[in-house]
Amino acid sequence: MHDPATAPAADQIALRAIGVSKAFVSGNLRTQVLHNLTLDIDAGELTLIAGPSGCGKSTLLSILSGLQKVDSGRVQALGSELGQLDLRALERFRLEHTGFVFQGFNLFPALSAFEQVELPLNHMGLSRDEARHRARLSLEEVGLAHRMRLRPAELSGGEKQRVAIARALAKEPQLLFADEPTSALDAVNGQMIIDILHRIASVHGTTVLCVSHDPRLVMHADRVLAMEDGRILSDRRPAASAIDNHGIPS
Amino acid sequence: MVALARKTLIYEWRRFLPAMLAVGFAGLLQLLQIALVLGIFGATSLYITGSSADVWVGYPGTQNVGSGRSIDADVESRILLDPAVTQIEPYIWVDGDWRGPHETGGVSVFVSGIDPAADGLMFSRVLPPALRARLAEPDAIVVDRSALDQLGVGLGQIATINGHQVHVVGVASGLRALGGVNVLCSLDTARRLDSDVDDIGPTYLVARLRDPRQADAVAQRLRGDKAFGPYTAWSARDFARRSELYWLFDTGAGAGVLFLAGIVFLVGAVITSQTLIAAVNGSVREYATLNALGVGVAALRRVVLEQAFWVGALGLLGAGVFGIVMLLLAHSQDVPVVLNAPAALACILLVMGLAAVSGLAAMRSLRRVDPATLLR
């Protein structure tokens, strides 16, 4: 786990989008999803991108995380120009620096919770013991120490999402991307996931970028970006005393 | 390392079962086909493999045992001059037309005239000594037990071959022929049965060597001497292979075997690859999540290939067990089946090749793994 003392300071910029545009073409129909969008995401914060469905927030997430290429503009993540990395290098970057939590839990039915978390670690070049140690710590952190031998079929939705978070967390990523992590969950489980995500940002200093239209998340985010029609409408810090002006849309 | 491929295979065995069955049945079909072909076509070299001669001498260009021509009897003395040869005897092949005591229509028989002496080389491995001794009686013949019905004859009964009377003094097993019936008799009887006036000597001369390992070298040495008219020599191994290959390819059976092998491979590969593709598609979101987390596509490909490998191995295991049971059953029912190491290896290679091809095909569907789709 990241030692908070060595975690990047909150005023550093983890992600930067400069003049990003993206459109999808379907037949003759061209839909502009992102309009010349410029944005900075600060390190060590839980940033929430909120907005109605179809506003482009998931596309923005996939572009900032290097899963998708931009039509125009640039994306910098942890100082790397993502546009200049080839497929291999992007995989390498994601392996070393990023974690993902998706709306669906996407767990392998055949693997126990422990194995789900251990699996990506095997590919990071960690020793077996180190991978297992991290997997255990990670599952303990999301409160599943007693359930880690169970398969997805034996876990509740909330538990599955916590396994998915543990899987991302065990990699000790600097960047954690979460797409609608609570939308498939009930209130109690949703709240638990929100608390965990918030804790990851504050304790580990991980930059957590979360896309959601869940109003409960707004209360816990360090920063909330409201999006509509591919543009950022507002940028506020619900609980913050010091508001800086990073990330005001152009 | 978390054994994703194996754990998925075990946990979702129902999903992979069709592939394992397809591989298993492809293997089984192939195994039984090869065993049958080897069993049936092995009969064409029975004359050689059932005898203890190391070198065969016959007419040049002879393509299989049944199509020899007579050679000069004096060649025998030339062969005996070779210091490696310890024993030599003539072997006469006569194509005969059989008339049994019961109406059977025409039955073509392959008459083998052999030396009935106790140390005779021909059929020494299949003909019991007591039966061999009885062949010394004039016009005595021995036939395979399974041919009695076909010949319409019983033990001790009289029949005619090429118009000459013969009587059945014994039945043996392991004398089955392909395309006719083997009839064993003495050299003298065979000469009487031969109606071809052009046949002036034996069809073959077979020799035993001091050192059987020298067979190839001796055969080579005996060739090319034209002093006694045309003849050539083969090692027994060579001549047996020549006979089998002739039947396999000249009769079209070999092409049939290869064709069927191709069909089996194709059908097996289609079913197996479709099953593996379905398995990949079923896990595409999980694979995409791993890829989002930075696990490379190459590593995901290895998972799919490993699954294909296990499907192949398990299918092979099933085919092996079932195949052995079937072969034992066939043996007990006198069905000619033979399985040797190269044939078994060919089956294994075919099955694992099938699994590999299917795995490669399934790997292609990993192209659909795109983590960006998880965000829509």
At residue A247 the predicted structure's pLDDT band, cuts being 50, 70 and 90, is: very low
Residues of B with Cβ-Cβ distance to A104 under 8 angstroms:
285, 374
Cβ contact A122:B2 at 8 Å: yes
**Residue, of B191 and A9, whose pLDDT is higher:** B191
From A99, A107, A128, residue closest to B293, measured CB to CB:
A99
At residue A245 the predicted structure's pLDDT band, cuts being 50, 70 and 90, is: very low
Q: What CATH code is carried by the domain that includes residue A100?
A: 3.40.50.300
pLDDT digits (tens, 9 = 90+) for A76-122: 999 999 999 998 999 999 999 999 999 999 999 999 999 999 999 99
Please give the mean pLDDT across all residues of chain B: 90
Instruction: Reduce the DSSP state of residue B333 to 3 states and report it.
Output: coil
Q: What pLDDT sits at residue B316?
A: 94
Q: Domain tally for chain A? A: 1
Cβ contact B158:B171 at 8 Å: no
**Residue A52 included in any domain:** yes
List the end-to-end C-alpha distance of chain A, in Å, as a whole number.
36
Q: What pLDDT sits at residue B177?
A: 85
Note the ipTM here: 0.88
Calculate ∠ Cα B310-B314-B320, nearest 5°: 145
From A111, A120, A151, residue closest to B293, measured CB to CB:
A120
Residues of A with Cβ-Cβ distance to B2 under 8 angstroms:
111, 115, 118-119, 122
Asked if B376 has any chain A CB less than 8 Å from its own CB, the reply is yes
Asked if B83 has any chain A CB less than 8 Å from its own CB, the reply is no
Cβ contact A198:A77 at 8 Å: no
C-alpha–C-alpha distance, residues A244 and A250, integer Å: 16
pLDDT digits (tens, 9 = 90+) for A11-20: 588 999 999 9
Q: Do B1 and A61 touch (CB under 8 A)?
A: no
C-alpha–C-alpha distance, residues B97 and B126, integer Å: 24
C-alpha–C-alpha distance, residues B109 and B230, integer Å: 27
Q: Where are the beta strands (DSSP E) in chain B?
A: 55-58, 85-99, 107-114, 140-144, 158-161, 164-172, 181-186, 204-209, 232-235
Which residue of chain B comes nearest to A108, CA vs CA?
B286
Residue B93 pLDDT exceeds 90: yes
Residue A242 pLDDT exceeds 60: no
Q: What pLDDT sits at residue B138?
A: 93
Q: Which run of H or E residues covers position A208? A: strand A207-211
Strands A72-77 and A80-81: what pairing? Answer: antiparallel
C-alpha–C-alpha distance, residues A19 and B107, integer Å: 94
Q: In chain B, pLDDT over 70 holds for what percent of residues?
A: 99
Q: Do B10 and A110 touch (CB under 8 A)?
A: yes
Give how far B291 is from chain A: nearest CA, Å. Answer: 7
Strands of A231-236's sheet, edge to edge? A98-101, A175-179, A207-211, A46-50, A223-228, A231-236
pLDDT digits (tens, 9 = 90+) for A148-199: 999 999 999 999 999 999 999 999 999 999 999 998 888 888 889 999 999 9
Residue B202 forms beta bridges with which residues? none
Q: What pLDDT sits at residue A2?
A: 45
User: In whole angstroms, how far apart are CA A219 and each of A42, A47, A196, A248, B194?
Assistant: 18, 11, 14, 20, 110
List the end-to-end C-alpha distance of chain B, in Å, as a whole number.
31
Residue B27 pLDDT exceeds 60: yes
Residues of A with Cβ-Cβ distance to B7 under 8 angstroms:
108, 110-111, 115
pLDDT digits (tens, 9 = 90+) for A37-83: 999 999 999 999 999 888 899 999 999 999 999 999 999 999 999 99
Q: What pLDDT sits at residue B338?
A: 86
Q: What pLDDT sits at residue B74?
A: 87
Give how far A67 is from chain B: nearest CA, Å. Answer: 5
Domain map (residue ranges) of chain B: 4-43+252-375, 45-250
Cβ contact A45:A208 at 8 Å: yes
Side chain identity at residue B361, one-letter code: A
Average pLDDT estimate for B4-13: 94
Asked if B300 has any chain A CB less than 8 Å from its own CB, the reply is no
Asked if B371 has any chain A CB less than 8 Å from its own CB, the reply is yes
Q: In chain A, pLDDT over 90 holds for what percent of residues?
A: 72
Which residue of chain B comes nearest to A122, CA vs CA?
B1
From B283, B293, B370, residue closest to A100, measured CB to CB:
B293
Q: Do B2 and A107 touch (CB under 8 A)?
A: no
pLDDT digits (tens, 9 = 90+) for B202-249: 999 999 999 999 999 999 988 877 777 889 999 999 999 888 888 888
- What is the number of residues in chain A? 250
C-alpha–C-alpha distance, residues A82 and A73, integer Å: 11
The closest of B239, B241, B248 to B41, measured between CA atoms, is: B248
pLDDT digits (tens, 9 = 90+) for B305-340: 999 999 999 999 999 999 999 999 988 877 888 888
Q: What is the phi-psi region of residue B252: left when phi exceeds 0, alpha when psi lies from -120 to 50, beta otherwise?
A: left
Side chain identity at residue A69, one-letter code: K
> What radius of gyration do chain A's Cα atoms show?
18
Q: Do B7 and A67 touch (CB under 8 A)?
A: no
The whole domain housing A222 covers: 44-59+87-236
Which residue of chain B comes nearest to A128, CA vs CA?
B1
The closest of B244, B326, B243 to B39, measured between CA atoms, is: B244
**Residue A27 included in any domain:** no
Q: In chain B, pLDDT over 90 holds for what percent of residues?
A: 60
The DSSP annotation for A140-160 comes to HHTT-GGGTT--GGGS-HHHH
Residue A1 pLDDT exceeds 60: no
Quickly tell me which residue has 């304790």 as its tokens.
A203
**Residue A191 included in any domain:** yes
Please give the mean pLDDT across all residues of chain A: 88
Which residue of chain B comes nearest to A173, CA vs CA?
B293
Give the 3-state secondary structure of B163-229.
CEEEEEEEEECCCCCCCCEEEEEEHHHHHHHCCCCCCCCCCEEEEEECCHHHHHHHHHHHCCCCECE
**Residue A93 included in any domain:** yes
Residues of B with Cβ-Cβ distance to A59 under 8 angstroms:
375
pLDDT digits (tens, 9 = 90+) for B44-63: 888 999 999 999 999 999 98
Q: What pLDDT sits at residue A240?
A: 54
Give how far B246 is from chain A: nearest CA, Å. Answer: 54
The closest of B236, B272, B362 to B26, measured between CA atoms, is: B272
> What radius of gyration do chain B's Cα atoms show?
29
The residues, ordered by sequence, that sit 6+ positions from A77 with a Cβ below 8 Å of its Cβ are A14, A15, A16, A64, A65, A66, A93, A97, A175
Q: What pLDDT sits at residue A175?
A: 95
Residue B166 forms beta bridges with which residues? B159
Q: What pLDDT sits at residue A218?
A: 85
